[in-house]
Amino acid sequence: MVFQRVMAILILCIPGAVGVFGWTWMRDVFFDYMAGKGFDWLSFLGGLTLFLIGLAFLGGFIYHRDAKRNKIQPKLRRKKG
């Protein structure tokens, strides 16, 4: 039981860390641009991709968990049948 909970926390921490890394990467590109360096689009888009992947995974997990417990609004629930 404890092992399963530790694994669940690790599974949630990895996408969170990926999202934080993507946010940091975008921030660094933006600050470098403000410091007079050119805007590195490839790095910015890579950071944006990492951020959105982490955000989508965590958001999907929270939505799925709340849907199983019937804690979401009726308009967001899937129709049965």
46-67: average pLDDT: 94
Entry pTM: 0.83
Contacts of 72 (CB under 8 A, 6+ apart): 63, 66
What tokens does 8 get? Answer: 């669940």
Say whether pLDDT at 5 is over 80. Answer: yes
Q: 24-28, 48-52, 73-77: which has the minimum mean pLDDT?
A: 73-77
Q: How confident is the model at residue 80 (pLDDT cuts 50, 70, 90)?
A: confident
What tokens does 79 get? Answer: 């129709």
The proportion of the chain whose per-residue pLDDT surpasses 70, expressed as a percent, equals 99
Q: Note the pLDDT tens digit of each residue in 26-50.
A: 999 999 999 999 999 999 999 999 9
Contacts of 53 (CB under 8 A, 6+ apart): 15, 18, 19, 22
Say whether pLDDT at 81 is over 70. Answer: no
Percent composition of the chain: helix, strand, coil (DSSP 3-state, to 5)? 80, 0, 20
What residue type is 59 in one-letter code? G
